[in-house]
Amino acid sequence: MSALDTGWYPSLLVGLGYGEDEVEDRIRRTWKAMFFDPDQRIYHEDGPDRGYLVDTGNNDVRTEGMSYGMMMAVQRNEKEVFDRVWLWSHTFLQHRDGPYRHYFAWSANLDGTRRAQGPAPDGEEYFALALFFASHRWGDGAAPLDYATQARTILRACVHQGEDAPGDPLWDPATALIKFVPETPWSDPSYHLPHFYDLFALWADPEDRPFWLKAARASRDYLPRACHPITGLAPEYAEYDGSPHRAHWDYGHHHFFSDSYRVAANIGLDTVWSGGNPEHRTIAQRLLKFFSGKGLEDLKMYAIDGTPLEEPALHPHGLVATLAMGSLAAGGDLVQEAVDRFWRTPLRTGPRRYYDNCLSFFALLALAGRYKIWGPGSRD
**Residues catalogued as catalytic:** 64, 259
Q: Which long-range contacts (CB under 8 A, 24 or more apart) does 146-155 make?
A: 148/203, 150/86, 150/90, 151/127, 151/203, 151/204, 152/203, 152/204, 152/205, 153/102, 154/102, 154/103, 154/124, 154/127, 154/128, 155/128, 155/200, 155/204, 155/205, 155/208, 155/212
Contact (Cβ atoms closer than 8 angstroms) between residue 49 and residue 84: yes
* Distance from chain centroid for Cα 306: 24
Task: Give CA–CA dist 145/69, Å, rounded.
Answer: 16
The verdict on whether omega for the bond into residue 144 sits within 30 degrees of 0, i.e. cis, is yes
Closest CA to 296 of 320, 266, 280, 279: 320
User: At CA 89, angle to CA 85 and CA 95, rounded to 5?
Assistant: 170
Parallel/antiparallel/unpaired status of strands 50-53 and 43-46: antiparallel
Q: Give the contacts of 346 (CB within 8 A, at least 6 positions apart).
A: 317
Contact (Cβ atoms closer than 8 angstroms) between residue 198 and residue 128: no
In 10 A of CB 205, how many CB atoms?
A: 15
* Distance from chain centroid for Cα 241: 22
